[in-house]
Amino acid sequence: MSLRKHLPRHRPRLVCKRSPEEQAGLISGNIILAFGTNSIAGIDELHRLLSADVANRPIPLIVLRGIERRYLSIVPLSKEN
């Protein structure tokens, strides 16, 4: 039984060069488990958390890469950036 099948999380499909995702160390296929202190159940939840309140400051990010849990830090940009 694969753990990945049972994880309703968000997976970035494409990580653009020089993006906040790339700078944080995310790679395509990572499964985002948590953003800040919030567990992520899906893309809608992640979008809801990406607000002006978190822009331009480091936010802890937990991802699953293969079978390994990784602890990263991401700096989301404001809409103006």
Could you list the pLDDT tens digit for every one of the 81 residues in the chain?
344 444 545 555 667 787 887 888 888 888 889 999 999 988 888 888 888 788 899 999 999 999 999 999 999 888 765
Tell whether pTM > 0.85.
no
Q: Which amino acid is at 22?
A: E
* Residues 14, 26: Cα–Cα separation, whole Å: 10
In the sheet that 68-74 helps form, which strands lie side by side, from edge to edge?
38-39, 31-35, 59-65, 68-74
Q: Which fold has domain 4-74?
A: Pdz3 Domain (2.30.42)
Identify the DSSP state of 49. Answer: H
d(C-alpha 30, C-alpha 8), whole Å: 13
